[in-house]
């Protein structure tokens, strides 16, 4: 057999092994969470806040953490989109391809992308101390927004950089100003916005380090931005840290709820994006 066909077979073998390894890894995680989480999952867990001594095996649920996480994720996603879209639009429509400012901005976003969330948390915590703020829902939203903005910008920017020049030219040729091209640009990069949103939601809902310093943790549901808020990852962490095996199992139930929320948001995101990107050229 010729060498190039042998190479092809070996390479294909590696690809299959790599794909199976990833698949096995995912299945293993999901299996573990289901195996330990399903028996401990009950209606009280998602409908009640922790009763006294919950983390030592007492009654109640983690509604506080579910609501806290949803508040933080939804608010920071909306804020993140509102801040990131103008940045991406400016980088790709207003600045020229070889603009130095665009180059520096992209480099900065790459650096921000790689900064661990604990650093964001510590940074935000320092500012909060300076401003005399307490750990609060508002602080959590702020730090998670900062955390996901680079994800939003880099993912949308990758798609926006592929915007066909002819598309912008065609819009300008109708007498559009740069700002008036936004409707065209947003529709064209809708799949990129969806991917960015899914990545950001995943990161935002799963982050524990950033919110630990800023949102704090509480057994009650926050009713204002000034009150501390519980989050699911921290709830999982506290339950897993318990010496009580039943409480540890509840941590897996909480993880299951976390995954379910991410799944629902992902499916919704896909449906919304499919609707808006059906016209993409």
Partner 1 sequence: MKSYPYQNPSRATWAEDYSFLNNDINNDEGLAFNKSYLKVKDLNLYIHKAHILKNVNLEIPDKKVTCIIGPSGCGKSTLLKTFNRLIDDTEGIKYEGSILVDDTDIFDKKTEITDIRKKMGLLSQRPCPLPMSIYDNIAFGCKMHGERNRKKLNQIVEEQLKAVGLWEEVKNRLHAPASKLSIGQQQRLCLARGLAVEPEFILADEATSALDPISSKHIEELFVKLKQDYTIILVTHTLRQALRIADHVIFMYLGEVIEAGSADEIFNNPKQELTRKYLEGAFS
Q: Provide the binding-site residues for partner 1, judged by CB under 8 A.
A: 96-98, 164, 166-167, 169-177, 180, 183-184, 187-188, 277-281
Q: How far is the CB of 94 from partner 1 (least distance, A)?
A: 10
**Tokens 């704090």, residue located:** 216
The angle, 0 to 180 degrees and rounded to 10, between the axes of the packed helices 137-160 and 63-89 is: 40
* For partner 1, the closer CB: 65 or 102: 102
- Smallest distance, Å, CB 195 to partner 1? 17
Cβ at position 90, least distance to partner 1 in Å: 14
Task: Give CA–CA dist 217/213, Å, rounded.
Answer: 9
Complex with partner 1: residue 175 or 243, whichever CB lies closer: 175
- Between 31 and 275, name the residue whose CB sits nearer to partner 1: 275
Measured from the CB atom, the residue of 123 and 276 that comes closer to partner 1 is 276
Closest distance to partner 1 from the beta carbon of 91 (Å):
14
Nearer to partner 1, 45 or 189 (CB): 189
Separation of CA 56 from chain center: 31
Nearer to partner 1, 25 or 172 (CB): 172
Least spacing, CB of residue 163 vs partner 1, in Å: 10
What's the min distance (Å) between Cβ of 221 and partner 1? 42
């Amino acid at each position: 057999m010729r060498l190039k066909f042998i190479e092809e077979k070996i390479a294909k073998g590696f690809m299959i092994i790599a794909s199976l390894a990833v698949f096995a890894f995912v299945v293993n995680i999901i299996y573990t969470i289901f195996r330990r989480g399903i028996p401990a999952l009950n209606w009280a867990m998602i409908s009640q806040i922790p009763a006294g001594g919950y983390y030592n095996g007492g009654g109640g649920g983690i509604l506080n953490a579910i609501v806290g996480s949803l508040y933080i994720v939804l608010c920071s996603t909306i804020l993140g989109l509102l801040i990131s879209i103008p940045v991406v639009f400016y980088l790709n429509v207003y600045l020229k391809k070889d603009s130095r400012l665009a180059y520096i901005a992209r480099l900065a976003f790459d650096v921000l992308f790689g900064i661990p969330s604990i650093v964001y948390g510590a940074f935000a915590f320092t500012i909060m101390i300076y401003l005399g703020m307490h750990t609060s829902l508002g602080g959590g939203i702020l730090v998670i927004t900062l955390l996901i903005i680079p994800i939003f910008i880099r993912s949308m920017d990758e798609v926006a950089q592929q915007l066909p020049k002819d598309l912008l030219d065609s819009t300008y040729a109708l007498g559009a100003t740069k700002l008036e091209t936004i409707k065209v640009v947003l529709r064209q990069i809708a799949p990129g916005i969806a991917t960015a949103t899914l990545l950001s939601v995943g990161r935002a809902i799963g982050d524990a380090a950033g919110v630990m310093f800023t949102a704090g943790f509480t057994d009650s549901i926050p009713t204002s931005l000034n009150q501390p808020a519980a989050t699911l990852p921290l709830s999982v962490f506290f339950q897993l840290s318990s010496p009580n095996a039943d409480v540890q199992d509840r941590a897996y139930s909480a993880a299951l709820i976390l995954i379910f929320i991410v799944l629902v948001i992902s499916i919704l995101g896909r449906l919304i994006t499919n609707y808006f990107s059906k016209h993409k050229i």
